[in-house]
Amino acid sequence: MARLLENQSKDLLQKAGIPLPRYGVAASPAEAAALAEEIGLPVVLKALIPVGKRGKAGAIKFADTAEEVAARAAELLGMKVSHYPVQSLLVEQKIDIAQELYLSITFDKVRQLPVIIATASGGIDVEELSREQPEKVVTLHVDPLEGLADYQCRQIWYDAGMGGKLLQSLGGVTRRLYQAFEANDAYLLEINPLVITGDGKVMAAAAVMSIDDGAMFRHPELASKVQMGTERAWRPLTELEKQMVAVNEADPYRGTARYTEMDGGDIGFMCGGGGGSLLMFDALVQAGGRPANYSEFGGNPSEEKVCGLAKGILSKPGVKGLFVAQNITNNTQVDLVAKGVVRALEEMGIDPTTFPVVVREAGVNEDVARALFQEKGIEYYGDDITMTGAAQRMIARMREAYPGYGC
């Protein structure tokens, strides 16, 4: 999934007509102080990073004066939160909060429908609340063909224990949130907390939004804003990882190609099939190898996608060999894998007779793949060798090319 920073999420909520505090973005203490005076003191300062639980990490601070804003901004801009450096801040009007609520929309993977989740207990971990006090959490599945009715939006909050004139306001925010969810192909849209102010207004104090990265072609205006792959990432993507995301997204309809760069390592790792690739990775490490990355492909990728992934793997400095492998039970056209890998080696000017390459592939058009690989002098195996055996052959080839490897 592709995650938006909070200011970008709020831009979309504002466009949908959802009430928000005044806010802006600053990249320096001086900018933050000037923005705070423009917005109106006191303010809240939030680190703009694509991860949650910023409050627990100390990445949200309050300030009453311009001098205090500058000081708190300097502290935040020097932080790292979950490996993400804080490079900009959300400067936001401090709200007079009378009550905190919670509202989100996501997908129920079991029922395969959007689900609205609401509770009158906001500013908390809703998953923990649903375990400990499930009666306080209200859910409503929405049939996309039927849509969401206004009365359903009010009913959600009535069931959550809210009443009076607030039902109309809360129902309106819920309906507009669902419209934003649909319009932007969101996977998650969360307001936590959704607040009731001291004068009885409903306002979104904090927002999180993740968009289905398979739908980004419908939202070119967001392409430069989203933090691609952040639902799976525990740190910022490297430049090479970003390039591989682009390779994958360039052909969203034909297979997948994922790449995670690792510190050090000298063997390019390129394997197919989630579980099988994990076993292959372990086998390579146990045999004495040092993978430079973890990468997997699946869903029968095109030659173009395989080539792009292989070139990315081989382009990392320090890579001295390539291990290409796959579980023997798969639906991949392995001749396309062969064409993509061979093409990558040729385009990068790599001679596989001196650069160690070991392939263990089996599947559709295996005979064609075998011929393509062997014609280029690449060591190829099908189901005649185990995963462990293939990994051991890779290490043997590395030791032939680089005496003393792994010792």
What is the residue-wise DSSP string for 321-364?
Answer: EEEEEE-SS---BHHHHHHHHHHHHHHTT--TTTS-EEEE--SB
Phi and psi of 200, rounded to 5°?
85, 15
CATH superfamily entry for domain 97-222: ATP-grasp fold, B domain (3.30.470.20)
In which band, very low, low, confident or very high, does the pLDDT at 14 lie, cut at 50, 70 and 90?
very high
Judging by DSSP bridges, how do beta strands 321-326 and 357-360 pair with one another?
parallel
Q: Answer yes or no: is pLDDT of 184 > 60.
A: yes
Query: What local confidence, expressed as pLDDT, does residue 238 receive?
Result: 87
- Does the pLDDT value for residue 231 go beyond 60? no
Structure tokens at 221: 């205006």
Q: Is the pLDDT of residue 172 over 80?
A: yes
Report the topology of domain 239-401.
Rossmann fold (3.40.50)
For residue 286, the model assigns a pLDDT of 95
With a cut of 90, say whether residue 216 has pLDDT above it: no
Q: Identify the pLDDT of residue 267.
A: 98
- Percent of the chain clearing pLDDT 70 (strictly above): 96
Report yes or no: 213 and 228 within 8 Å, Cβ to Cβ: yes
pLDDT at 99: 95
Q: Which residue has the tokens 């649909």?
A: 182
Distance separating alpha carbons of residues 274 and 293, to the nearest angstrom: 15
Highest mean pLDDT of the ranges 31-35, 84-88, 271-275: 31-35
Q: What is the pLDDT of residue 15?
A: 96
For residue 237, how many other CB atoms are within 10 A of its CB? Answer: 18
Closest CA to 301 of 350, 346, 250: 250
Specify the pLDDT at position 234.
59
Closest CA to 347 of 336, 358, 339, 359: 339
| pLDDT band at 290; cut points 50, 70, 90 | very high
Nearest Cα to 7, choosing from 231, 236, 225? 225
- Does the structure show a pLDDT above 90 at 402? yes
Rounded to an integer, what distance in angstroms lies between the CA atom of residue 337 and that of residue 380?
A: 12
| Cis peptide bond upstream of 21, omega within 30 | no
Residue 406 confidence (pLDDT) above 80: no
CATH number for the 22-93 domain, one of 3.40.50.720, 3.30.1490.20, 2.40.50.100, 3.40.50.150?
Answer: 3.30.1490.20
pLDDT at 298: 87
Q: What is the CA radius of gyration of the chain?
A: 26
Helices (H) and strands (E) in the chain, counts: 12, 19
pLDDT over threshold 80, residue 344: yes
Q: What is the mean pLDDT of residues 172-200?
A: 96
- Confidence class of residue 329 from pLDDT cuts 50, 70 and 90? low
Query: Hey, what are 16's tokens?
Result: 């949908």
Q: What's the whole-number average pLDDT of the chain?
A: 91
| Better pLDDT: 373 or 224 | 373
| Residue range 37-77, pLDDT digits in tens | 999 999 999 999 988 788 888 999 999 999 999 999 999 99
Q: How would you class 92 by CB atoms within 10 Å of its CB: exposed for 0-12, middle for 13-18, buried for 19 or more?
A: buried
The arithmetic mean of pLDDT across residues 250-270, rounded, is 89
Confidence at 383, pLDDT banded by 50, 70, 90: confident
What pLDDT is recorded for position 212?
84
Mean pLDDT of 2-23: 94
Query: Is residue 227 over pLDDT 70?
Result: no
Domain boundary assignment for the chain: 22-93, 97-222, 239-401
Q: What is the DSSP letter of 154?
A: H
What kind and span of H or E run contains 162?
Answer: none
Residue 124: the pLDDT is 67
**The pLDDT value given to residue 328:** 75
pTM: 0.72
